[in-house]
């Protein structure tokens, strides 16, 4: 039987196995607008049912030896590698990903599971000194059930980086993928983990809307929420979880600066800048949202960046186009409004600014000022706003004027000068002589300010901190004597 046939998942949820749903919704292909399948829509009651099943299954899973957990996760990684073409196809059709982006994402999903297999076998505590004659230690225990809410833009990676380590550390997981990417960000994970031998009841996929997300946050058995999405939605999730005394790990938006100093190779800098702004139509939290360019090379940089933008074709990713569709009409309208408002306020359209259907042309805005929407807001579209600066102090003021603090790129022939400059600009991620978009399973990932609550993804340390609780344990040979 072919892997992931529609008969497996069409109109279904994954919760205690594949089962039908009372309601279904279409899977839309943004490039064509066509319906390419139907997924089961979860209800609030489904969340409660999943919570009860997950809590029971988790108690047994936590007791499974680490090497056995690792074996299942390695098998999942192998399956994601073997089935990479299936994942890539769904990413291109459902999320509008270009072929290169889809291949990169599918590969990183596999690496997340391989890395999680190693996390399962990491040391899980430390011995503590004590003033008394006893063994004193701190050990990490699974939190229980983790709720994961993942977005549409990199649905594979942004699901895997929470699901894989949470399972590795002994937890059950209830996943609510974005409804627009319920397959590549949800149901395909269920099929892989089922085939890999994950025990039934540990992993649930419940596609749905805000009501399902809210129920997942409220569900008593869910003790940690791992959320990736917009800052606006993240504030709501964080506030709701806080009232319930739950941890919420929030990886939110960004308005990331790429700093171009005047000693650069301008052609190379513009190439990096184009990739940072236009990859996956700019629909990435790490997208280069502000190009801050020193005045001596400003005009040359704008000219070079605009030339590159004009030569990037839009179209259906399945036909080889590098720039695919915006995810939906609502998002496209937001992108276009920011561009048009910024031009009306004085920005200069150097390239693009036009669209056909959901295909928005790669756009370069020159002479962007701090008061323009294109400077102040996260655009989430293929738009490169370029702002000039003269002194380093002016640069620092521009770079730090944003509430966001996710990723920062600095381009300069003097790498150590750039590294020193980075210390003046708060950011969760810094890339010297690279653009702002990058990710690896082994690297801590997270932002500051309006970009989230810090690095709670990537690397053993961050994952263990995210998905376990600390328990203090003491052991002594005899019962302690007290004066009472």
Which residue is listed with tokens 């950011």? 427
Give CB contacts under 8 A, 24+ apart, made by 475-482.
475/134, 475/135, 476/132, 476/133, 476/134, 476/135
Helices H / strands E in the chain, number of each: 16, 23
Does the annotation count 304 as an active-site position? no
Confirm if 180 and 331 have CB atoms less than 8 A apart: no
Confirm if 374 and 383 have CB atoms less than 8 A apart: yes
Residue 257: strand pairing partners: 290, 408
Question: First vs last Cα of the chain: how many Å apart?
Answer: 71
Catalytic residue among 29, 94, 285, 378: 285
DSSP-derived secondary structure letter, 361: P
Number of Cβ within 10 Å of residue 433's Cβ equals 16
Number of Cβ within 10 Å of residue 141's Cβ equals 15
Q: Is 271 helix (H, G, I), strand (E, B) or coil?
A: helix
Catalytic residue among 105, 251, 377, 378: 251
Confirm if 206 and 176 have CB atoms less than 8 A apart: yes
| Cα dihedral value 228, 233, 237, 238, nearest 10 | 90
Does the annotation count 285 as an active-site position? yes
What is the torsional sign of CA 95, 98, 100, 103?
positive
How far is the CA of 284 from the CAs of 1, 105, 149, 439, in angstroms? 35, 12, 16, 11
The catalytic residues are 251, 285
């Amino acid at each position: 039987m072919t892997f992931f046939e529609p008969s497996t998942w069409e109109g279904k949820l994954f919760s205690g196995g594949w089962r039908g749903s009372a309601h279904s919704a279409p899977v839309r292909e943004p490039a064509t607008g066509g319906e390419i399948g139907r997924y089961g829509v979860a209800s609030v009651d489904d969340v409660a049912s999943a919570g009860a099943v997950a809590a029971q299954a988790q108690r047994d899973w936590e007791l499974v030896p680490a090497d056995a957990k690792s074996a299942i996760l390695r098998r999942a990684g192998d399956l994601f590698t073997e089935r990479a073409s299936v994942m890539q196809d769904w990413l291109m059709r459902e999320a509008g990903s270009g072929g290169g982006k889809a291949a990169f994402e599918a590969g990183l999903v596999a690496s997340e599971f391989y890395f999680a297999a190693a996390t399962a076998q990491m040391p899980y505590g430390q011995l503590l000194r004590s003033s008394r004659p006893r063994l004193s230690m701190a050990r990490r225990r699974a939190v229980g059930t983790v709720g994961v809410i993942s977005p549409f833009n990199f649905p594979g990676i942004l699901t895997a980086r929470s699901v894989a380590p949470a399972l590795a550390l002994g937890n059950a997981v209830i996943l609510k993928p974005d409804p627009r990417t319920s397959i590549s960000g949800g149901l395909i994970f269920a099929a892989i983990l089922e085939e890999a031998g994950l025990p039934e009841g540990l992993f649930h996929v419940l596609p749905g809307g805000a009501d399902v997300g809210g129920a997942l946050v409220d569900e008593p058995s869910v003790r940690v929420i791992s959320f990736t999405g917009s800052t606006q939605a993240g504030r709501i999730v964080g506030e709701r979880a806080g009232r319930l005394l739950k941890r919420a790990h929030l990886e939110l938006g960004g308005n990331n600066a790429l700093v171009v100093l005047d000693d650069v190779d301008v052609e190379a800098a513009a190439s990096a800048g184009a990739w940072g702004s236009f990859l996956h139509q700019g629909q990435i939290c790490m997208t280069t949202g502000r190009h801050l360019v020193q005045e001596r090379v400003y005009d040359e940089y704008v000219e070079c960046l605009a030339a590159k933008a004009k030569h990037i074709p839009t179209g259906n990713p399945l036909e080889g186009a590098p720039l695919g569709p915006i995810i939906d009409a609502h998002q496209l309208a937001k992108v276009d409004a920011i561009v048009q408002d910024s031009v009306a306020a004085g920005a200069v359209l150097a390239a693009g600014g036009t669209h056909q259907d959901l295909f928005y042309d790669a756009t370069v805005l020159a002479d962007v000022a701090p008061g323009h929407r294109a400077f102040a807001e996260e655009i989430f579209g293929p738009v490169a706003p370029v702002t000039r600066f003269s002194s380093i102090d002016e640069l620092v003021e521009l770079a730090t004027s944003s509430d966001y603090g996710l990723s920062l790129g600095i381009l300069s022939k003097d790498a150590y000068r750039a590294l020193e400059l980075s210390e003046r600009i708060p950011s969760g991620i810094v890339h010297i002589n690279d653009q702002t978009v990058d990710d690896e399973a082994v690297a801590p990932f997270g932002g500051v300010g309006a970009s989230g609550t810090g690095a709670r993804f990537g690397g053993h340390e961050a994952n263990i901190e995210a998905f376990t609780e600390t328990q203090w344990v003491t052991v002594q040979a005899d019962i302690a004597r007290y004066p009472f």
